[in-house]
Structure 1
Amino acid sequence: MNNSYSNSYKEAGVDVTAGYKAVELMKQHVKRTVTPGVLDGIGGFGGLFELDLTDIRKPVLVSGTDGVGTKLKLAFLLDKHNTVGIDCVAMCVNDIVCCGAKPLQFLDYIACGKNVPEKIAAIVSGVAEGCVQAGCALVGGETAEMPGFYPADEYDLAGFSVGVVDKDKIFDSSAIQAGDAIIALASSGVHSNGFSLVRKVFDIEHCDLSAYSAELGRGLGETLLTPTKIYVKPILELAKAVTIKSVSHITGGGFYENIPRALPEGKRAVVERAAVRVLPIFDLIAKVGGIDERDMFNTFNMGVGMCVTVPAAQADKALEVLNACGETAYLLGEIQDGEKGVTIC
């Protein structure tokens, strides 16, 4: 039995016993994420993971870290905390898989004004679900109770992931040629980017988030809180079937910032505007906020969570594989010679 407690610390606003209870409540969720390689459970000073290098001749570790950002304000207002953990995992592992790496492990960091064990466990349940979707293990984390720094009912959430890829199998964007096909993988919504603008547009602290929206087919709050889609498994499956030259994770900065990050000098992505399957939430944001199309495509994913570049001759096969994985995938455009960047026409 753990007999660690401090009345003085509790009087200062930190209840260490609440932390112990939170750990006990989250263990059932963490257990879902255990994969081969995990050597120890939650509670130690470090997460142990045995690296299996079978079929990996030149292992390269790939790391990614990110947070959920101000999307958390929606979770506070709706008092719904079991999905933002998926966003946290997604923002890290979707970056890692862009070079062809398989995420192996994940750690989270939760800083809060007051440790309410049930709320912390709900947050971690989302993290665990994200890890399951990504096929990686939740090997540890940290919950920091920081009274006076965060309001009692608020928290911040960030994460860190490590993956591995064979050096010879890293996606090679330098091989991109004019005529290569750009394939879109549909997003699930706004994901976890641009929420400072979203919050301003809808004045979310003062609007009715639960009200039904005919344009969205559900409530605004529910739509905005939809978790970020995790693309790890379909991308890794696609890599077995076709030659992937590059992958772009469409996050903050939208098309104009993220697509060029996966292009070599002298190559330009040409996106067919008519091909983009814009989700209703983005039309609503643009209408209510009076935001022009250029700014929308430079802030949001607009319904495209990832872009994959493959040889034109393999485009049909790529679409077949991705759709078989349950993705909504379609041809978005092509690569052309020109100044590195994006043209939407």
Structure 2
Amino acid sequence: MTLILKKLTSINDFHSQDWNELNSHDNPFLSFEFFAALENSGSVSKETGWEVAHLAWFDEQGLLQAVLPHYYKTHSYGEYMFDWAWAEGITRAGIGYYPKAVAAIPFTPVSGQRLLISAQLEQKNPKIRHELVSQLFSSVQEASRLDTSLSDKQVSNLQCLFLEEKEVEGWKIAGAMIRRGYQFSWYNNDYQSFDDFLGKLRSSPRKKIRRERRNLMEQGVSFKHFEGCEIDDDLWSFFISCYQQTYLKRSGHLGYLNQQFFEQIRLTMSEKLLIICAYQNDKPLATSLFIKGKDILYGRYWGALELIDGLHFDCCYYQAIDYCIDHEIGCLQPGTQGDYKRRRGFIPEYVYGAYYFCDVNLRHPIQEYLDEETEQLKQQFANWTVTSPYK
């Protein structure tokens, strides 16, 4: 099958059904609706440093066979597998680092497929994944200006962030350097209650969690869960306000995602949404927003008008564990990093990035950096195994 590669500068250049049919794992962050909310709200745009350049492969009949969410970037914000050290060092050496090409879900550190390929195409050609990646690398290297090329501008490197583990080999065979990071996930081992989960922990973390939850109850803090159409205008506005105020206090801005983004996902993805709201003496105090996947609950955004010791842990983790147990959901993924999650029963797992540098003189020092980083991470995982909170 002959495939034609095109660069499309808007999610709206695709038919939603065609895109979603390639999202075979039903990952909510890879849905047409999520990308449309990012782009149509202006949260993702050339002005915010995410110039849209999605890569699409069509067959001779014009049917979409594969797609890679893809951007040109002039900074490294909102990626969560950060390369600031490389960018600074390479720039100091007098070599241009930006723009770079990034295949990712903006502002979303969630692992999953990145190169979405038709199941029929992959069944016919098991090598198609690394063949398409090899084509991308050739296009980047050549910096061709043809309409069907990867780029109409030169980039220093191409990065694919948070690709799932089974995709890694295809990128590696094509010539990418592989980077490891880590996240923490909680797994529901057929727990019947929160106490059942706590019973699997060692004494110290078990007592700490119980003390944190008890302290909140003694201060009049309670929680309610709202899904889909249960989320009314007042609650949604309160969530957005909490999100913006928390970002403002922490980072000096209102957050990467604007109000229009949140309004759109409420309209187009309402069945995927869960809000956990904290109240103190019946007055709303904090919220956390979760997005439901296929047997996975993703913790994404949170905010509080007032911080109380332990509030973040309960609103973002313990309440979500309660929800997963009650609804028989297998996994809770609360976001990036944070050893405090591990101490509360979350399991460390590798995440992966793939990198291709056009300048051959940069590849060796970057690979040395990655090798050293990987060894340090392996040692950290070994230490975590010894200090597991589980019995």
TM range, smaller chain: under 0.3
TM-score (norm 1): 0.25
TM-score (norm 2): 0.23
